[in-house]
Structure 1
Amino acid sequence: MHRRTLLKKLVLAAPAAWIPRVMAGVNWSPLPPAPLATSPFQPTWDSLARYQTPEWYRDAKFGLWAHWGPQCQPERGDWYARGMYQEGSDQYKFHCEKYGHPSKFGFKDVIHEWKAEQWNPDELLALYKKAGAKYFVCLANHHDNFDLYDSSHQPWNSTRLGPQKDLVGGWAKATKKQGLRFGVSVHAAHTWSWLEPSQRADKKGPLAGVPYDGNITAAQGQGTWWQGYDPQALYAQNHPLSENSQDDGMIHRQWNWGNGVTPPSPEYCEKFYKRTIELLDKYEPDVVYFDDTALPLWPVNEAGLRIAAHMYNTNAQRHGGHNEAVVFGKILTPEQRKCMVWDIERGQSNEIEPLPWQTCTCLGQWHYDRRIYDQHGYKSAQTVIHTLIDVVSKNGNLLLSVPMRGNGTIDEQERAIVEGIAAWMQVNGESIYGTRPWKVFGEGPAQENAAALSAQGFNEGKGKPFGAEDIRYVTKGKVLYATALGWPTAGRLLLKSLATGGPHYQGKVKRVELLGAPGKLRFERTQEGLAVALPAQKPNAIAYALKIMSA
């Protein structure tokens, strides 16, 4: 047997604690990726524009997301691996108090603390299926650059360090066991600039001028727990700082690789490409979420285009020539929206979109924040359901993240919210799944005061709260569903869009039912609208779906 092959077999078979020392001194290079699938999609925007959103996704409407990785271990909120290096910030102060100064205890050491010891994907996926999710997405890597799967191209991964488990593999198995569509979210394209604060040093205090660990080298690992691992494979900071890098808000203006960002090296881009191709080939997701403007590394590199074409081509091969893949991107041009599904982060469109789209949002912070639990600050089941109803009426889906603790669990407040969603969906799901937009998405004062989108979204919660006069419409076959986002005090609901002589509903109303309540309802249709008498008893405390059937 060839020496390198023998050493690789020994490494893969060795206990995890031995691996750094076994690897030390070995000319270790990852295996080449699988050949790029080349037909029928090519890695160009023109070719990707032939994409058609699969019907399964249009019918699914609701997905759940585990945005979970080592940054959840401190339980101090989103972007911890960046914030811990920003002198004076909340996360920096927390980190110094809990772990020590970032020159001595860096993010690599946070990874070492993370064990995910109570993670039970089977139990969570059973709960999420009960809640009505039709697809599930797990984090494959974040901007922290740590792969949460068995990665040949990134030695800093969860099978070798931290939990020493194949987290994506475990999620994939549990998801498919429940019969749900499986997806991954990929964020690591941005590590190059996102982790630049790790190159800094304190400007004041007893350790002023002492560099953080962002530029630490493999040679400095002798005798440490990370001996044999190159920190630059994680931090990717062997490059000059971007323009105005000391401005913590600059990253947002440089997200599309412009405005003075230091260009990522070809080697960095190619490594990202190989890691992602391996992820797609090994775990075979139907859904890929990219946290990028358009596609990863676009427009400075074509890696994202190559990945998208490969995803579509290999997915179609697996599904007998029928493409079932969904790829998400943010801040898309009208032409790019033909190539993939537009994702709006923490926000909603204000109109029926001609192409399917998605809102992604979270019960709390993207990475677990203990303070939200302590302050009972999560979104309620009602808020989630109202968002879902609104989004679906405009041709969209909702992907909801349930924050996870570092140990792999969700807390009891989150569990109660998920159970509340489940209770509503089990009765009212027919007004959600498999529906399509009607001639108008709805009516009411909330839409009249809707907030505009900002950048990739971020307009949720900025408009007028939903109430009983806010109605959302969808259709399924010959049935029209009208869902009220509140219970009218008069016991009578008026649907103005169904007025006689109006432009929207030409047929005759034959029967009206309220999902979750027995029997048919009394109604009267006039030039003011369809007035429906509601029962004395509410069927739930969240939203009320009327099933309207024509003659």
Structure 2
Amino acid sequence: MKLFGSDIRLPFYSLLIVLLCHRVQAQQVYEPNWRSLENHNEVPDWMRDAKFGIYCHWGVYAVPAYNNEHYIQHMHNDSPDYSKLGTYKRHLALYGPLEKFDYHDFIPMFKGEHFNANEWADLFVKGGARFAGPVAEHHDGFAMWDSDLTPFNAKDMGPKRDVVGELEKAIRQRGMKFFTSLHHELNYTNVKMKPGWAGSDPKYAKLYGSTMKKEEWDQMWMDKCKELIDKYHPDVIYHDAWLEQVPEKNLQTYLAHYFNEAEKRKQDVIVTYKGEDIPAGVGMEDHENSNPKNIIAKPWLCDYSIGTGLSYSWGYTEGMEIRQPKEIIHTLIEVVSKNGQMLLNLSPKADGTFPDDQKEVVYKVGRWMWSFGEAIYDTRPFSVFGETTAANQKVYYTKKGKTLYAIFLDWPGDNVAVKLKNLTSQSVNGKLKSVHLLGLKNLVKCENTLSASGLTLTVPAKTRIPSDLAYVFKIETE
């Protein structure tokens, strides 16, 4: 039918086209399948530039402060062949039988009365971190954010503070990227159950996990991930191992939600994984407590705890041994030379403060980073990660544009000639402009000779420098 020579169907078709276009625009960029999720940029440049981050294991486990952050698991293992520093027997001696005092009874004691998000964030900045944040939930089922999904959260119990939310605000205010981690994929099977123990009581199912139906727990796992994303928009979500316990579809649905929400916000986000938990093209692989032998082409992450020694704890324990600044800086240098990024874990006490010895380590690490960080931040790996000199000294390399950095872990010696065989006229692609030792005030020029067999530089006499944790030679090429 025509009206005044026009086809009245045209407005209808025009409307249909508009609606179809709107539907296409409304479609999500990422679908919940691996092929679609692999289109996500798994390691954006901001992470490759940042290099160093700090996070914290802080939770209910800081109250018993014994063995390590897996206290909830160890306190329930009454097997005579299972020791873990005698956690079960010690718990009974101090707190009584589990029928009377179980893990949830520590929650009212977890007050965090001195927790101050701004002080935490200031410490991270002083330490030289460019991304930072808290563990959002560990293997104990206690959420450190204001959660609508579980009553066992830090806003409703314990500190009665939105720890994740307060830190997210403080960290971003200081120009750092916001990091958080989730470890709750293990929680469903983490606690041994016996009649009379709280893990067998449905009232505590969302804390101990095991009495829930598996499909209910799987849904809660995914919903917690989504809630964390929707409330705090983290730049990085770190996952511990055991993601194989999560149904693949739930994992894919959560990741699609994360990436799509980030797309709306024009935010470059990262999800980390271990082993083969998710395909390599979707996230950033984490090497916990280990470095590869050589450069890895795809950028990677590693995390180390400040805690060391017998119990090797990530959470605070009384009398814990800690790593010293030199070990941390040396590890970071090696990591960066091999195309990695490093995350350092700190262990706050139950009251929300950091022990003085941990703070002192962070200050010294930060002094080196603020003084010599140009050899770390914004760099990329050289063609080789480093070498050992004729005097058996380790040297690691990084590069930034036409500038190379040779980082000696120990002082080479005053007025000695050192040959770096991997820095040849061919490998540095041209002539040298200068070689300087980075110091307290001015660059100290080093005499040098470049040839096809390597770079020979003469080390100047050691003068006052900001830190003796490692020594940086800046090599500028034309």
TM-score, normalising length from structure 1?
A: 0.75
Which structure's residues are more often strand, by fraction?
2
Quick one: which of 226, 230, 254 aligns to 1:277? 226
Amino acid corresponding to residue 37 of structure 2 in structure 1: L
Kept in 1, the 8 Å contact 2:386–2:395? The answer is yes
Q: How far did 1:314 drift? A: 0.6
Task: Name the SS of the counterpart of 1:338 in structure 2.
Answer: coil
| Separation (CA, whole Å) in 1 of partners of 2:456 and 2:196 | 69
* Aligned counterpart, 2:108: 112
8 Å CA contact 1:269, 1:301 repeated in 2? no
Matched, 1:484 2:375: no
Conserved in 1, the CA contact under 8 Å of 2:201 and 2:211? no
39, 54, 59: which is aligned to 2:44? 54
Give distance in 2, aligned partners of 1:543 and 1:468: 15
| Aligned amino acid, residue 343 of structure 1 | D
Alignment correspondent of 1:140:
136
1:533 aligns with 2:462: no
**Equivalence for 1:215:** 200
Matches within 5 A, 1:157-236: 157-195=153-191, 197=192, 199-200=193-194, 211-217=196-202, 230-236=203-209
Query: Which of 302, 316, 331 does residue 263 from structure 2 map onto?
Result: 316
Tell me if 1:474 matches 2:398: yes
Does the residue aligned with 2:322 lie in a helix, a strand or coil? coil
d(CA) in 2 for partners of 1:121, 1:296: 34
1:521 equivalent to 2:446? Answer yes
Measured after TM superposition, the shift of residue 468 of structure 1 is 6.3
The Cα shift of 1:499 comes to 3.3
Amino acid in structure 2 at the alignment position of 1:493: V
1:524–1:531 contact (8 Å) kept in structure 2: yes
Residue pair 2:133, 2:168 contacting (<8 A) in 1 also: no
Give the corresponding residue for 1:149: 145
Q: Please state if 1:547 is matched with 2:470.
A: no
Aligned match of 1:255: none
Whole-angstrom distance in 2 between the partners of 1:483 and 1:337: 31
Contact 2:413 2:459 survives alignment (8 Å): no
Whether the aligned pair in 2 keeps the contact of 1:315 and 1:324 (CA below 8 Å) is yes
Q: Of 74, 85, 88, which residue of structure 2 is paired with 1:83?
A: 74
Give, in angstroms, the shift of residue 332 of structure 1.
Answer: 2.8
Alignment of 1:62-461 (within 5 A): 62-76=52-66, 77-87=68-78, 89=83, 90-195=86-191, 197=192, 199-200=193-194, 211-217=196-202, 230-238=203-211, 265-293=214-242, 295=243, 297-298=245-246, 300-319=247-266, 323-332=267-276, 336-364=279-307, 365-372=313-320, 377-444=321-388
CA deviation after TM superposition for structure 1 residue 438, in Å = 1.2
CA distance in 2, matches of 1:542, 1:38: 52
Q: For residues 42 and 142 of structure 1, what CA distance do their matches in structure 2 show?
A: 28
Aligned partners of 1:54, 1:127: CA distance in 2, in Å?
A: 25
Cα displacement (A) at 1:186: 0.7
Secondary structure in structure 2 of the residue aligned to 1:289: strand
2:423 equivalent to 1:498:
yes
1:39 has 2:39 as partner: no
Write the distance in 1 (CA, Å) between the matches of 2:393 and 2:427.
18
The 1:101–1:535 alpha-carbon spacing in structure 2 relative to 1, beyond 3 Å, is farther
Post-superposition Cα deviations, 1:362-390, rounded to whole Å, max 9, x if no partner, equal: 00021112122xxxx21111111111111
Q: Structure 1 residues 290, 384: CA separation in 2 closer, same or farther (over 3 Å shift)?
A: same
The unaligned stretches of length 5 or more in structure 1 are 1-36, 201-209, 218-229, 240-263, 446-466
Aligned to 1:512: 435
Letter matched to residue 78 of structure 1 = E
**1:157-196: CA deviations, max 9, x gaps?**
111111111111111111112111112111112111112x
In structure 1, C-alpha distance between the alignment counterparts of 2:95 and 2:251, rounded to whole Å: 37
The answer on whether the counterparts of 1:493 and 1:532 sit within 8 Å (CA) in structure 2 is: yes
Post-superposition offset of 1:73: 1.4
For the 8 Å contact 1:145–1:191, the answer to whether it is kept is: yes
**Secondary structure, aligned partner of 2:445:** coil
Aligned-residue offset at 1:484? 1.0
Moved beyond 6 Å, runs of 4+: none
CA drift of 1:398 comes to 0.4
Provide the rounded CA distance (Å) in 2 between the counterparts of 1:273 and 1:118: 32
Q: How many residues align?
A: 435
Unpaired runs of at least 5, structure 2: 1-25, 308-312
Superposition deviation, residue 100 in structure 1: 1.8
Identity level (%): 33
- Once the two structures are TM-superposed, the CA of residue 475 in structure 1 deviates from its matched residue by 1.1
Aligned-partner Cα distance in 1 for 2:450–2:456: 6
Is the contact between residue 127 and residue 362 of structure 2 (CA under 8 Å) also seen in structure 1? yes
Alignment-mate amino acid for residue 418 of structure 2: L
Distance in 1 (alpha carbons) for counterparts of 2:63 and 2:154: 14
Question: Shift of residue 527 of structure 1?
Answer: 4.9
Query: Greater CA radius of gyration, 1 or 2?
Result: 2
